[in-house]
Amino acid sequence: MIFPSSRLKSILCLCLLAAAAACGQAGTQEGGLRYGLTLAPSGIDPHIHASVELGIPLSSVYDTLVFLDPETGQFVPGLAERWEVTPDGLRYTFHLRQGVVFHDGSPFNAEAVRANLSRVLDPENRSQRALSMLGPLREVQVLDEFTVALDLEAPYAPLLDSLSQVYLGMASPQALEQWGPADYQFHQVGTGPYRFVEYLPNDRLILERNPDYAWAPAIYRGSDAAIDTITFRFYEDVATRALALESGEVDVIGELPALEARRLAEVGEFEIYPVEIPGQPLQYFFNTQRPPTDDPRVREALVLGVDRAAIVRTIFGEYSPVAQGPLAAVTLGFSPRQDFGGYDPEGAAELLDSAGWRPDTQGHRARNGDPLQLLLIAPNWGSNPEVGQLLASAWDALGAQVELQVAPGFGPLNEVQQQGEYHAIGMNTFGSDPDLLRPFFASDGFFNWSGYRDAGLDLLLDQAAQSSTSEDARLALYAGVAGKIREQWLILPVRDYVNLVGASRDLQGLRFSAQGWFPYLIELSWRR
């Protein structure tokens, strides 16, 4: 049979694509894995940068002194075999595992711990996250080759949680010195089950199995990685993620839209893993320093006037619960006392009336001739733009004139916040310890974007951070924190984060850390 040249070219192209896909799949099954990341961070040095995304690959490059068991919620040995805390909570002494070697062949010891923590503490390095996680750490003392002491200025209950996270992972001091703070992110060296091979910003990050890994913590189900090479690529455009999974470009990808996750689950070729993320919910802070949101009645009205359950159903489907306060329900310290109530538009209207914002014949509210105007700022991640649109619509129905702006990244979001002209702004963070609330609600907190200052709330936050003797006492204090936040209506909580991860059904063993975002890559394997 003779084909026209154009048709012949089409058939040849299709055959080549099919062959390439088959080769790619074969290559994957032989040991490679392709993992889709959903954010291209501006930097991936865990000691210096703050992105959650960096932890997805790098939590397998680095080991930490301790690990948090996601099953039991208990801290277990990591690079530290055991540790003691003095009764006053001011000294943590860690006895380190011997025989551990960095990927560059240099030894892990107490001096390595000192070098890592000193790097984080150095103000010249401008740590964006790890520094705050060390709290009141004053000094790191090397007691002998495999014993190190951390001396604190005040008790700090979240310290073990901090030391269990990738941002305080142990890096080779030799590599840190060789490459310096600017270039180390391209040449990272840890002790973990995978070695860092290559990082090309906005393109790819490649890891390879560490064949010498012989000190796996007990939380891993097995100590030998079955997948030799893992290539991470970036898919910031939400619309490309499901397509990348279906086409075979990736074997795993997170942050799938709810509709796409449901559709892929029905196809039968993919597994959907709804991973609940501890920390703060998707939320909006009210600016208490600018009218009209300086009035708690207005803030309460803006919360009650939003059908949060309908927003969650519309955007996130059945996968995400409605948020009930400043902490997600799966987070240590969550308290039912922080419940922000349900949808009550009549109650919202009465509150606005009592605050002097009365509607005209067309429903537009004003006070003393000034219209009720609101500037709403939404981040560009985590479906915030879509949520912002529904919030603006709900507040418009209350009689407000709402302007919605979407900030195209954290930098622009921070710039808008510093100008202080907004009335509500979206921001949150993730973590397994409730002390993450302190930067957001302490009077001098870096992320105190509500501008609310209260000595009583500051005292509760400080006491909770220093309460290292009793978890029950800490939880009671955080219940009090949540109660004050609810009492003042400082936030509008929308939904608890659930990361919808899609994966090929040929992949098995996908499980995530206690922080929610980070997969245990060492446990992954292909079905045979």
Residue 469 pLDDT grade (very low, low, confident, very high; cuts 50, 70, 90): low
Q: What is the mean pLDDT of the chain?
A: 91
Residue 290 and residue 414 in one domain: yes
What is the Cα Rg of the chain in Å?
Answer: 25
pLDDT surpasses 70 at 272: yes
Query: Would you state the pLDDT for residue 222?
Result: 83
Query: Would you state the pLDDT for residue 141?
Result: 98
Q: Is residue 15 part of a domain?
A: no
Lowest mean pLDDT among 6-20, 150-164, 442-456, 461-475: 6-20
Mean pLDDT of the 323-351 span: 89
What's the domain range around 464?
282-496
Query: Would you state the pLDDT for residue 411?
Result: 85
pLDDT surpasses 70 at 13: no
Q: Is residue 24 part of a domain?
A: no
Residue 258 and residue 297 in one domain: no
Cα separation, 361 vs 368, in Å, equals 16
Residue 83 and residue 40 in one domain: yes
Residue 117 and residue 198 in one domain: yes
Query: Would you state the pLDDT for residue 28?
Result: 46
Query: Would you state the pLDDT for residue 267?
Result: 85
Query: Would you state the pLDDT for residue 470?
Result: 75
Q: Is residue 31 part of a domain?
A: no
Convert the pLDDT of each residue in 157-166 to its tens digit. 999 999 999 9
Could you give phi then psi for residue 424, rounded to 5 degrees?
-145, 140
pLDDT surpasses 60 at 24: no
Cα separation, 432 vs 203, in Å, equals 30
Mean pLDDT of the 359-379 span: 96
Helix (H) or strand (E) holding 462: helix 455-466
pLDDT surpasses 80 at 100: yes
Query: Would you state the pLDDT for residue 22?
Result: 41
Neighbours of 491 (CB within 10 A): 29
Residues 442, 464: contact at Cβ < 8 Å? no
Cα separation, 497 vs 409, in Å, equals 19
Lowest mean pLDDT among 128-132, 140-144, 509-513: 128-132
Residue 489 and residue 416 in one domain: yes
- The helices-and-strands tally (H runs, E runs) of the chain is 16, 23
Q: Is residue 352 part of a domain?
A: yes
Query: Would you state the pLDDT for residue 471?
Result: 81
Residues 176, 119: contact at Cβ < 8 Å? yes
pLDDT surpasses 90 at 472: no
Q: Is residue 5 part of a domain?
A: no
Residue appearing with tokens 């206690």: 514
Mean pLDDT of the 257-267 span: 92
Q: Which of 85, 81, 89, 191 is nearest to 146 (CA)?
A: 81
Q: 3-class SS at 423?
A: coil
pLDDT surpasses 60 at 5: no
Q: Is residue 4 part of a domain?
A: no
Residue 410 pLDDT grade (very low, low, confident, very high; cuts 50, 70, 90): confident
Residue 31 pLDDT grade (very low, low, confident, very high; cuts 50, 70, 90): low
Q: Which of 258, 260, 266 is nearest to 240 (CA)?
A: 260
Residue 396 and residue 485 in one domain: yes
Could you give phi then psi for residue 365, rounded to 5 degrees?
-90, 145
Mean pLDDT of the 508-514 span: 95
Helix (H) or strand (E) holding 418: helix 410-419
Residue 391 and residue 511 in one domain: no
The enclosing domain of 426 has a CATH number of 3.10.105.10
Residue 448 and residue 520 in one domain: no
Cα separation, 323 vs 341, in Å, equals 10
Residue 267 and residue 372 in one domain: no
Residue 408 and residue 354 in one domain: yes
The enclosing domain of 267 has a CATH number of 3.40.190.10
Mean pLDDT of the 121-133 span: 94
pLDDT surpasses 90 at 17: no
Convert the pLDDT of each residue in 209-237 to its tens digit. 999 999 999 999 988 889 999 999 999 99
Residue 175 and residue 250 in one domain: yes
Mean pLDDT of the 442-451 span: 94
Q: Is residue 422 part of a domain?
A: yes
Q: Is residue 388 part of a domain?
A: yes
Domains contained in the chain, number: 2
Query: Would you state the pLDDT for residue 467?
Result: 83
Residue 483 and residue 350 in one domain: yes
